[in-house]
């Protein structure tokens, strides 16, 4: 309650400096891979806008967002910051962000961009402009497929087709595949599919089976449904047969993301950023569209990491913040330079469809772009982090075989709805 009240009175500290000079406080979560490029782009922006002086505030992901909440409460948040796409509704619904609708409609052509509408709320207001897009596809290790003599994934695969392939690719420490009668599922050396998290796992399956977690207005749980039951049964079956690792299996690895690049899994559901680890590991791999559900539904989760502007920024400071957003969104050279890092699909279609993006590994980068046809968000709302935690607490117990799927669904439904009610019924 204290944080909510504080968020509602957030503010900004930068001011016009007189004589046409403006100081703009810009925040972003940093990484060793991207910091140098960000600084280069800031320098280029200031060369084009000598009246705007940018003061940066950055730190690693977790620390950045922890500090941001404190800054918002203390009315010292940046004038503009880079938000994880799943957190944009958190700030928007708490009244922290500036409504960008008029500026976007005036200066940007929506048909030229991927993901612009993923920051639009139910009333049609825009709260951010994507900096880069993460969208999921199916990754597969071609060497492992060749060794097991399994055909590579094709675009009309269903989830059952994937599981049949996973059975042929899951191997024990004796070199026996899961289709062999002497296969020992207690001695797995290679999984058919690695699978975890809402982003790179269960939400894709739920949605493609016709289910999901929240309703269209994102304030009611729809967890307890026949469609979700079928999807979760499919997942649990794969885990019980050790074709996919369980959450506890994943704990034996350095990280949940390590299995595919370390060749402990032949396939994975992965966002675009995962190409970096796969390329660095020197894998012989490619990507394909995610499989379809039993009724032909396909779903690819998307996260639009975005620039957002502090609601309290006004006058020359707000104008300067929007100039930064336009610089990032409209200039091909900026998009190309950021795309060279390989950590996100470019927002501007002209760059994303250029040879500069499509060349290189994996060979079928077009799959990322084709996936926008059936892309959707992760039911993100103001309490996304909270309800995901409640869902995971219950559904992971079903994944581990501790409780039946039906029981996990009932408990998750009740606990997720309680989170929603506590925020939306105040």
What's the pLDDT at 19? 62
How far is CA 339 from its chain centroid? 17
Spatial neighbors of 146 by CB under 8 A, at least 6 apart, are none
Domains of the chain: 22-134+303-372 (3.40.190.10), 136-301+379-424 (3.40.190.10)
Question: What own/partner pairs with CB < 8 Å and gap ≥ 24 does 313-318 have?
Answer: 313/12, 313/14, 313/79, 313/80, 313/98, 315/16, 316/16, 316/22, 317/12, 317/14, 317/15, 317/16, 317/22, 317/23, 317/24, 317/79, 318/79, 318/98
Residue entry with tokens 């500036």: 98
Whole-number Å distance between alpha carbons of 413 and 219:
12
Q: 197 burial class (0-12, 13-18, 19+ CB within 10 angstroms)?
A: middle
Helix (H, G, I), strand (E, B), or coil: what is residue 29?
strand
Give the CA dihedral 306, 330, 313, 305, nearest 10 degrees: 0
Predicted TM-score (pTM) of the model is: 0.92
With beta carbons less than 8 A apart as the criterion, state whether 97 and 79 touch.
Answer: no
The DSSP line for 310-357 is: BTT--HHHHHHHHHHHHHHHH-HHHHHHHHTT-SSB-SBHHHHTSHHH
Give the CA dihedral 312, 27, 218, 120, nearest 10 degrees: 70
What's the pLDDT at 1? 38
Per-residue pLDDT of the chain (426 residues; tens, 9 = 90+): 344 444 433 344 455 445 689 999 999 998 887 899 999 999 999 999 999 999 999 999 999 999 999 999 999 999 999 999 999 999 999 999 999 999 999 999 999 999 899 999 989 999 999 999 999 999 999 999 999 999 999 999 999 999 999 999 999 999 999 999 999 999 999 999 998 899 999 999 999 999 999 999 999 999 999 999 999 999 999 999 999 999 999 999 989 999 999 999 999 999 999 999 999 999 999 999 999 999 999 999 999 999 999 999 999 999 999 999 999 999 999 999 988 888 899 999 999 999 989 999 999 999 999 999 999 999 999 999 999 999 999 999 999 999 999 999 999 999 999 999 999 986
């Amino acid at each position: 309650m204290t944080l909510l009240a504080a968020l509602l009175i957030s503010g900004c500290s930068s001011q016009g400096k007189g004589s046409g000079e403006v100081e703009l406080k810009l925040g972003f979560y940093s990484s060793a891979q991207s910091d140098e490029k960000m600084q280069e782009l800031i320098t280029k922006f200031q060369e084009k806008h000598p009246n705007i002086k940018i003061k940066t505030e950055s730190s690693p992901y977790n620390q950045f967002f922890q500090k941001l909440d404190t800054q918002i409460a203390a009315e010292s948040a940046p004038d503009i910051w880079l938000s994880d796409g799943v957190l944009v509704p958190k700030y928007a619904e708490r009244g922290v962000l500036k409504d960008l609708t008029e500026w976007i409609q005036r200066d940007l052509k929506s048909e030229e961009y991927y993901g612009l509408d993923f920051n639009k709320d139910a009333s049609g207001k825009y709260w951010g402009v994507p900096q880069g897009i993460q969208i999921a596809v199916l990754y597969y290790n071609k060497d492992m497929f060749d060794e097991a003599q399994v055909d590579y994934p094709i675009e009309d695969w269903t989830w059952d087709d994937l599981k049949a392939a996973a059975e042929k690719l899951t191997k024990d420490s004796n070199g026996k595949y899961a289709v062999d009668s002497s296969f020992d599922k207690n001695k797995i050396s290679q999984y058919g599919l690695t699978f975890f998290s809402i982003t790179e796992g269960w939400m894709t399956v739920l949605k493609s089976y016709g289910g999901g977690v929240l309703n269209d207005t994102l304030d009611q749980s729809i967890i307890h449904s026949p469609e979700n039951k079928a999807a979760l049964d499919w997942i649990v079956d794969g885990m019980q047969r050790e074709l996919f690792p369980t959450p506890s299996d994943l704990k034996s690895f350095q990280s949940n993301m390590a299995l595919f690049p370390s060749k402990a899994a032949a396939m994975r559901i992965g966002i675009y950023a995962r190409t970096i680890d796969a390329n660095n590991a020197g894998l012989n791999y490619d990507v394909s569209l995610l499989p379809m559900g039993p009724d032909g539904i396909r779903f690819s989760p998307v996260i639009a990491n975005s620039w957002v502007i502090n609601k309290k920024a006004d006058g020359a400071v707000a104008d300067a913040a929007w100039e930064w957003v336009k610089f990032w969104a409209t200039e091909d050279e900026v998009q190309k330079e950021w795309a060279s890092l390989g950590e996100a699909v470019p927002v501007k279609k002209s760059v994303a469809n250029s040879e500069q993006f499509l060349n290189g590994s994996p060979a079928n980068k077009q799959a990322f772009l084709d996936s926008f046809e059936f892309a959707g968000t992760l039911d993100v709302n103001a309490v996304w982090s909270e309800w995901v935690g409640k869902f995971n607490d219950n559904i992971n117990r079903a994944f581990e075989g501790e409780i039946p799927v039906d029981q996990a669904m009932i408990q998750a439904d009740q606990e997720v709805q309680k989170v929603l009610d506590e925020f939306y019924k105040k």
